[in-house]
Amino acid sequence: MGLHLGYAIEGAIGSYYKIDASYLSPHVKMPERLESSTKAYGVPLLISGTLYKSLTRATRNFCRQVDWVTMVGSDEPVRFFTVDIDPQQLKVESHDIYLS
Q: Do the beta carbons of residue 46 and residue 80 sit within 8 Å?
A: yes
Tell me, yes or no, whether 45 lies in a domain. Answer: yes
pLDDT tens, 51-69? 999 999 988 998 999 999 8
Tell me, yes or no, whether 97 lies in a domain. Answer: no
- Find the mean pLDDT for residues 35-46: 90
In the prediction, which pLDDT does 97 show? 64
- Find the mean pLDDT for residues 80-100: 73
Domains: count for the chain: 1
Using alpha carbons only, what angle is made at residue 81 by residues 75 and 86, rounded to the nearest 5 degrees?
Answer: 165
Confidence category of residue 93, pLDDT binned at 50, 70, 90: confident
Tell me, yes or no, whether 37 lies in a domain. Answer: yes
- According to the 3-state scheme, what is the secondary structure of the chain? CEECCCCCEEEEEECCCCEEEEEECCCCCHHHHHHHHHHHHCCCCEEEHHHHHHCCHHHHCCEEEEEEEECCCCCCEEEEEEECCCHHHCCCCCCCCCCC
pTM of this structure? 0.69
Tell me, yes or no, whether 21 lies in a domain. Answer: yes
CATH number at residue 65: 3.30.70.1230
Domain of residue 71 covers 2-85
Q: Of 73, 80, 74, whose CA–CA distance to 36 is shortest?
A: 80
Tell me, yes or no, whether 19 lies in a domain. Answer: yes
How far apart CA 75 and CA 80 sit, in angstroms, is 16
Tell me, yes or no, whether 30 lies in a domain. Answer: yes
